Chain A
C-alpha cells in the first residue's frame, strides 16, 4: 500500500492503515538517523521548501534535517510574520516558489485552513506544519511514533491531552489519529478551553485533572500560551498551574509506567513541573528525535512523481 495523496493537510481523512504505513516507514528512517552517515539518496534532486509564516525554529529545523538527510535541496522562506499576511500574498508567494520547481512545500501559517488554500492553488505537494488552531499532522504522527516506540499498542490505550485544547492544533491532530487507531482519548482543561462538541470528535472531556489521570498510560501536556491570559480563559497562571499543572504526585495517579509527552516548548513550572519534564517517564526528547525520522518518512511517501 502507499500514500496516494498529493498533500498532507490533516489527519482527519487518513485511514488507520495509512497512519500505520507512515509509522512503519519511519522505522526505516529511524535506522538511518542511527547511522554514522545519516543520509540516503531517496530525494536526490528534489526541492523541499519550508514556507514558515509563523516563526518556529524547532519544527522548521526538524523538516530541514529530514529533507537534507534524504538528499533533497532545501530552501527556507520566512516571510515577515509581524504584519497580517493576506491570502493573496500566500498564494502569490507560493506560485513563485512553484515556479522554482519546488516539489514539496512545508507550510506553517497562523490561519486555520491556510495549508488547504495553498494546496488548492499549487501543483506541488503541501505538508501542513501547523495552520492556526486547526492541525499539526506531523507532530501527532511523531507523538504516535514515540508511543509505539515505547512498546505501547494503540487499541484501548488511554491517553489524556491536557491544556488549552480549544486553541491546540496538536490536540486536534492527535485526537483524530489516536481515535482512528482505537485509543481512548480524554481531554482535560478548564471548561473555557475545551471546545464545543469535542466529544463528537471522539474525546471525552474532563475538568478535573486528578480524575482524568486515573488509568491513563500516556499523558500529553499542551503548552499554555501565556499571552492568552488577557482573554478571560483562565484567571491567573498561578491558578492554572495549581489545577492543571503536571506535578510528580499527579504522574503517580496515572498508570505505573505512564509516559509524559509535550510538543514543546515547555513552560517549566506552569503546565509541567521541572522534575517531571526531566524524569524517566518523560519522552519529550525522544519526541524531538523521532520528529526527524517521521518527517523523513512523510517526505519520502509524498515524493512520488505527481
Chain B
C-alpha cells in the first residue's frame, strides 16, 4: 500500500528544502514535492510542523554480536538505531570473533534481516583478528557484503601493513577506516592528557597520539591514492591536517561524534566513567576546531561510535571501566543543537547525518529522490524531551547525557517503506 507523507518540511540535502509531500510505494520513493500525484488508496500521514528527511546513515556503530550479546545484539542495536532516526548503520568488526571473514559478515547480515528494522551493513576487518599483522581476506569480505574495512577499536600500528591495506583496498574501491591512535604514545591512558588528567592523577592520552596517526594516514593516502576515512576525529590538529589534505585533493574523509562537539574533558571530573571513551573528550579548543571543521566541510560526516557497555562494567574504577558510550538515540538532538548555535544550517545538519555518510561509503542511501529506497525519518524539531537511558531501545544505558533536556525528537522512522518506529503518543 502506498504511503503519502503530507505537508512536512522536506529536506533532501542538495535537492529539496521546502514544505511538500512525499509519496512512498513498494518500498521506494515515488514522488517528492508540491502538488504530487497521490496514488489511489494511499495511506496518509500528516507531517505538518515536522521535518521529513532521509533516514540517517551512521558510519560507525558497535553492535556486539557475535560475542558480547549482553551489551547489545544486532536486533537491539537496530531497534536503537531506528528510534534515533537511523535507517542504515555500519557496524564495526571488533566482535568476538572479529569479523574478518565471510561467515561472520553473512551472520551479521542474516541477523539484521531477521530483525527487520534498520539496514545493518558490516564493516570488515583490515587484518586477521584485527591483530594488525596480516591482511584479512578483503576481497571476500567485500563480496560477502562489507562496505568498508577497519580494525576499529585499535589502530593499524604498522605503517607498512596500513600501506598494503590501502593499496589492496583500491581493487575493491572501498574506504579504509583507521582509528587514529599511536598506542605507544597513548601508553594505556584513559582520558585526555592535560590539566584534568594531571589533577586527577589519571594516565593521559595526549592529542599528539591521534595527530601523529592522522599525519601518517594522510601521507599513506597520498602515496597510495586510497580512500581514507578517519574515524571519530577529536583534536584541532586532526581537523587542521584533514583540511590541508582536502585542499590538496586527497581522497580523505573524516567523521566526528556528537560527544566531541558537545563535551570537554571537564565532564570526567569526579572520575565519571560515563565520560570515558576513546578518543577521549578533549579541551575547549579542540571542540571549537571540530565545530569549525563541521561548518567548513572539513568534517564530512557525523557518526555516533555507538559503543554499548553493561552498567556494571561502567561502575568499575575509572582506569578499569571500558571505553565508550551509546549514541544512536541522542545524535539527532545534539546535532540540532549545532543548528541552534548557528554552526550548521538545518539542511547541512541533515546532510551530515544522511547524504554525506552515504556518499563517503558509496551507499545508495541518504536521499529522497524518486527511485531511492524509502528510508525516511519524520522529526519534530521543536519537541523538548529529557534523555532517559531507562527508556532507550538499546540494551545498554551508558550515556553522559542522562538527564539532559534536549530538543528534536524522531517521531516516525520508515525503512524500505515500512514503519519500523513510532514515538509514543505520535499521531
- Note all chain A residues with C-beta closer than 8 A to B201: 112, 131-135, 167, 169, 172
Q: Say yes or no: B195 contacts A113, CB within 8 Å.
A: no
Interface: A200 (CB within 8 A): yes
Q: Say yes or no: A87 contacts B321, CB within 8 Å.
A: yes
A171: min CB distance to chain B, Å: 9
- Note all chain B residues with C-beta closer than 8 A to A172: 199, 201
With A196-B193, A196-B194, A196-B204 given, is the CB distance from A113 to B317 under 8 Å?
A: yes
User: How many interface residues does chain B have, given as a range?
Assistant: 20 to 34
Q: Say yes or no: A88 contacts B199, CB within 8 Å.
A: no
Interface: A117 (CB within 8 A): yes
Q: Say yes or no: A112 contacts B315, CB within 8 Å.
A: no
Specify which of B197, B270, B319 is in contact with A111 (CB 8 Å cutoff): B319
With A111-B320, A112-B318, A196-B194 given, is the CB distance from A88 to B312 under 8 Å?
A: yes
Q: Say yes or no: B200 contacts A113, CB within 8 Å.
A: yes
Q: Say yes or no: A113 contacts B318, CB within 8 Å.
A: yes
Specify which of A116, A167, A198 is in contact with B270 (CB 8 Å cutoff): A116
Interface: B198 (CB within 8 A): yes
Interface: B202 (CB within 8 A): yes
Q: Say yes or no: A134 contacts B200, CB within 8 Å.
A: yes
Question: What secondary structure prevails in chain B residues at the interface with A?
Answer: loop
Most-contacted residue by chain B among A84, A113, A116 (CB, 10 A): A113
Contact with B along A187-207 (1 / 0, CB 8 A): 000000001111011000000
Interface: A21 (CB within 8 A): no
Q: CA separation between A133 and B202, bound complex, in Å?
A: 7
Interface: B219 (CB within 8 A): no
A197: min CB distance to chain B, Å: 4
Q: CA separation between A87 and B271, bound complex, in Å?
A: 13
Specify which of B194, B203, B316, B320 is in contact with A197 (CB 8 Å cutoff): B194
- Note all chain B residues with C-beta closer than 8 A to A4: none
- Note all chain B residues with C-beta closer than 8 A to A90: 316-317
With A116-B271, A197-B194 given, is the CB distance from A87 to B315 under 8 Å?
A: yes
B158: min CB distance to chain A, Å: 20
Q: CA separation between A174 and B266, bound complex, in Å?
A: 23
Q: CA separation between A195 and B321, bound complex, in Å?
A: 23
Interface: A12 (CB within 8 A): yes
- Note all chain A residues with C-beta closer than 8 A to B318: 111-113, 117
Q: Say yes or no: B195 contacts A197, CB within 8 Å.
A: yes
Contact with B along A50-89 (1 / 0, CB 8 A): 0000000000000000000000000000000000101110
With A111-B318, A112-B319 given, is the CB distance from A117 to B271 under 8 Å?
A: yes
Q: Say yes or no: A113 contacts B202, CB within 8 Å.
A: yes
Specify which of B195, B271, B321 is in contact with A112 (CB 8 Å cutoff): B271
Cβ-closest 3 pairs across A and B: A87-B316, A113-B271, A134-B201
On B, residues with C-beta under 8 Å from A are 187, 193-195, 197-204, 270-271, 312, 315-321
On A, residues with C-beta under 8 Å from B are 12, 84, 86-88, 90-91, 109, 111-114, 116-117, 131-135, 166-167, 169, 172, 195-198, 200-201, 231
Please give 8 more A-B residue pairs, beta carbons under 8 A apart, in addition to A116-B271, A196-B197.
Answer: A84-B320, A90-B316, A111-B318, A112-B317, A113-B317, A117-B317, A167-B201, A195-B198
